[in-house]
Amino acid sequence: MSDNDRIYATPQPQISDFTFNEAVVRVFPDMIKRSVPGYPTIVENIGVLAAQFAQPDSVLYDLGSSLGAVTQALRRHVKAEGCRVIAVDNSPAMVERCREYLHAQDSMFQELLPVEVQEGDILALAFAPCSVVALNFTLQFIAPEQRLTLLSRIRQSLLPGGALILSEKLRFEDETEQQLLGELHIAFKRANGYSELEIAQKRTALDNVMKPDSLDQHRERLLQAGFSKVIPWFQCLNFASLIALP
């Protein structure tokens, strides 16, 4: 269903900023699996975690849903009565393909949670009362100065007993840790078949658009947004996932 990622395989005279366009959508499942250590484990387990936090008759959000991998995991695992999933992404190409993938899931399984895929900016979203919010590698693409506002709005919409699940690439204050985990991440990409050229060109393309924070920055910001507890549940190299409790 998805092609191999060869987007940066040939030298590009000028590298434009990375966008989630049609070409990226075509290769996205391959790209994210070969680039983000732990991605399949994180996605599946977001479903498992969500099943513990989902409250009856509430909304589960998948924000920056891309092709709906998290939405599909939520629909596989959450059994709470009356829940529905809202998946939101601002890339029209992603949204179109995401709807196709979810129709395919609908045709293969019965009694899945209802889902609505919305094309829009998560910064402009009017949140419904919700029990699970997944930001799976999305916050890092939001302008740093907008992150606290977004998290505060999520916190205000979260029901008691619910949770935000936040996965991000991490930056490290400690230079040795930053360098080692950075190098190990490059080794991970190499091991998955990316060439030095592909790795270098992709890094340049992401430079202006993806701004990772440190674990401390995430923790402090989440507490400032009104969350009471921040609990890391997964880390593989410089990629981590946190549970934030209201």
Beta strands, E only, the chain: 59-63, 84-89, 115-119, 130-136, 158-171, 213-214, 229-236, 239-245
32 or 54: whose CB is closer to ligand GEK?
32
Binding of residue 91 to ligand GEK (CB under 6 A)? yes
Out of 7, 8, 34, 43, name the contact with ligand GEK by CB under 6 A.
43
Binding of residue 89 to ligand GEK (CB under 6 A)? yes
Binding of residue 66 to ligand GEK (CB under 6 A)? yes
Q: Which residues contact 197 (CB under 8 A, 6 or more apart)?
A: 8, 9, 11
Query: CB 69 → ligand GEK: shortest distance, Å?
Result: 4
CB-based closest residue to ligand GEK: 64
Out of 94, 205, 230, 243, name the contact with ligand GEK by CB under 6 A.
94
Length of the chain: 246
182 CB burial (10 A radius; 0-12, 13-18, 19+): middle
Binding of residue 87 to ligand GEK (CB under 6 A)? no
Binding of residue 123 to ligand GEK (CB under 6 A)? yes
Cα 40 from Cα 33, distance rounded (Å) = 7
Out of 50, 54, 59, 70, name the contact with ligand GEK by CB under 6 A.
70
In angstroms, how far is CA 21 from the centroid of its own chain? 17
In which residue are the tokens 């590009």 written? 12
Query: CB 89 → ligand GEK: shortest distance, Å?
Result: 4
Q: Mark the segment that binds ligand GEK (CB under 6 A) among 51-59, 62-70, 184-192, 196-204.
A: 62-70
Q: DSSP assignment of 165-178, as one string?
A: EEEEEEE-SSHHHH
In which residue are the tokens 């658009």 written? 209
Q: Which residues contact 235 (CB under 8 A, 6 or more apart)?
A: 38, 170, 241
Out of 54, 78, 83, 122, name the contact with ligand GEK by CB under 6 A.
122
Total of chain residues touching ligand GEK, rule CB under 6 A: 21
Query: CB 81 → ligand GEK: shortest distance, Å?
Result: 26
Binding of residue 20 to ligand GEK (CB under 6 A)? yes
β-strand 229-236 against 239-245: which pairing, if any? antiparallel
Binding of residue 234 to ligand GEK (CB under 6 A)? no
Query: CB 229 → ligand GEK: shortest distance, Å?
Result: 23
244 touches 164 (CB < 8 A): yes
Residue 39 to residues 76, 91, 239, 241: CA-CA distances in angstroms? 17, 21, 9, 10
Q: Mark the segment that binds ligand GEK (CB under 6 A) among 53-61, 132-140, 155-163, 171-179.
A: 132-140
| Interface with ligand GEK (CB under 6 A) | 20, 32, 43, 64-66, 69-70, 88-91, 94, 121-123, 136-138, 141-142
